[in-house]
Amino acid sequence: MKTQSKCLVLLGTLLTFFVGCQKEDGLGTFIRSTYTTKVLTKDGNIQTGTFTATGGISGNGKAVMDILVTDDSTFCTVWFTQNAGSVTIKERCSRDMSDPTGSWRIVAGTGIYSGRRGSGKLSMEFPPNVPTGVTVRETYQGKVWVNP
């Protein structure tokens, strides 16, 4: 009987430990970034603009995107910065502009975004489907969570 009780206590402790360590589903996140300045560099180009976010990342601020184009994909590193902190995002997009979609994932955060991770899908809009002066507008949808 004592052995059974010890096993039950051990099992309960293990279940509590493992259930308590599970990563939560995360907060739904919606981010829209709009780029109005494009600077060509020897390795690609950098675009700057603004962003607005709700959900797991919230607020608005400055957006900077560094773009690297390869034969079959476009890879971007994006920095969203505001007074409370910043988020670094990696994107992978198709080079086929008839399907201007891709994926994103958070790789770093500072300030209130320290420890944040997340991922999702993104879509892009280009002229003539954006206001005059906008080079690209991106919409991110996905989940954000905090790593322990």
Please, are residues 117 and 135 in contact by the beta-carbon 8 Å criterion? no
Average pLDDT over the chain, rounded to an integer: 84
* CA–CA gap between residue 84 and residue 114 (Å, rounded): 10
Full-model pTM: 0.79
Q: For the chain, which residues make up each domain, given as ranges?
A: 24-146
Beta bridge partners of 125: 137
CATH number of 24-146: 2.40.480.10
3-47: per-residue pLDDT in tens?
A: 554 443 444 443 333 334 444 467 899 999 999 999 887 777 899
